[in-house]
Amino acid sequence: MPYTRIQGEFRIVKTNPDGDTVRFYPDDPAVWDTIPGPVPIQIRGPGGANLRLEGIDALETHYDPPSVGGGVLHQPKAQAEGAAAELLRLLGFDPVQRTPSGEVKPPTNPAAVRGYVLTRGGDRLGRCIAFTGPGAGPDADADGNVFFTPAMLHETVNHKLLAKGHVYPTFYRSLFPDLRNDMTATARKAQADGEGLWPLDKTQEPTVVVGPPEVSKDVILPKFYRRLGEYVLLNDGDPDLGGFVVFLRRKADTFTILSTGHTSTGLDLIIEVNDSKVRWTHDIKDIVFDD
């Protein structure tokens, strides 16, 4: 599968990296203009941009729904902040100091880490969707393209976070099936071995919804959490779930259940509400979302 390789460095001072997002500065910032996507890659500072790590989803450390005002939400801090710390460790940074808002304080050790990005495009928030890691990355052809294989995938921080259960698998249609299948197998093994967040996972069990900033005290799938959080904030902080099914229907997330091949619109089809409790009813590893 052809991916564009971008070489550069990670710098994290005055950023707020979580377990699946980090700032990257390419050697040639003009490369961002060549990355396709629904919106241009959003450049931050002197040529940097945020990466959204492909195929994984970390618990939210600071979720501010883009369509809603009213506050920053977070999931259980031990697991959310643990994933963020592990991402930085895998990239090569020593433990960092953060402000109360989560911003990395200067200095860091090292100040920057050389790394690479493998990408096929950006998302609707202007982030580069990427597999990434420290070092030079796999060899590229004269045009900077890499035929990316599952073996190469295993060298990325995406895979390493998934293998240790720090993140959930979450797949979108742009991810090639052989890479998705490999990541599915990795997630299944991590779950079977009781790695990371998996022993605490309550995604498919009834969770009680509370007011912000937590919304749910349980460890649940971040995509599920983000929809709950957005709904609660739109509901002026009231956790009453009376309108949640209608909200999900109107959000119109489109997804395919791999085991059946059935494509549906609206997460209300895989969400079950029972008074003050709600649960996600289908294995995330069996779902592919539209981009």
pLDDT score at 50:
98
- Do residues 205 and 283 both lie within one domain? yes
pLDDT at position 275 is: 87
Tens of pLDDT, residue by residue over 14-55, are 999 999 999 999 999 999 999 999 999 999 989 999 999 999
**In sequence order, what E strands does 94-161 have?**
113-122, 128-134, 145-147
Structure tokens at 76: 């259980």
Say yes or no: 57 and 81 in one domain.
yes
Same domain, yes or no: 28 and 70? yes
Domain range for 119: 2-192
Is residue 276 pLDDT above 90, yes or no?
A: no
Contacts of 118 (CB under 8 A, 6+ apart): 3, 4, 5, 6, 130, 131, 132, 137, 138, 146, 148, 152, 156
Pairing between β-strand 2-10 and β-strand 145-147 as defined by DSSP bridges = antiparallel
Average pLDDT over residues 242-246: 97
Q: List helix spans (H) across 63-219.
A: 77-91, 150-153, 157-163, 177-192
What is the pLDDT averaged over residues 233-256? 96
CA distances from 245 to 210, 241, 270 (A): 17, 8, 10
Question: Are residue 147 and residue 208 in the same domain, yes or no?
Answer: no
Per-position DSSP letters for 22-86, written without gaps between them: EEEEESSGGGGGG--SSS----BTTTBEEEEETTEEPPPSSB--TT--S--B---HHHHHHHHHH
Same domain, 140 and 30: yes
For residues 70 and 181, membership in a common domain is answered with yes
Enumerate residues 6+ apart whose C-beta is below 8 A from 178.
Answer: 1, 150
For residue 259, give the amino acid letter: S
pLDDT band of 264, cuts 50, 70, 90: very high
- Whether residues 251 and 114 share a domain: the answer is no
Q: For residue 95, is the peptide bond before it cis, meaning its omega torsion is within 30 degrees of 0? A: no
Query: Which residues share a beta bridge with 8?
Result: 26, 115
Instruction: Please check whether residues 173 and 205 belong to one and the same domain.
Output: no
**What residue has token string 């031990």?**
78
Q: Do residues 25 and 169 both lie within one domain?
A: yes
Does one domain contain both 90 and 157?
A: yes
Instruction: Summarize pLDDT for 189-207 with one digit per residue, the tens.
Output: 999 999 999 999 999 999 9
What's the confidence (pLDDT) of residue 70? Answer: 67
Count up the domains in the chain and report the number: 2
Cβ distance 60 to 226 under 8 Å? yes
Select from 192, 212, 239 the last residue of a domain: 192
Amino acid occupying residue 75: Q
Buried b (16+ CB within 10 A) or exposed e, 254-270: ebbbbeeeeeeebbbbb
CA distance linking residue 287 with residue 90, whole number of Å: 28
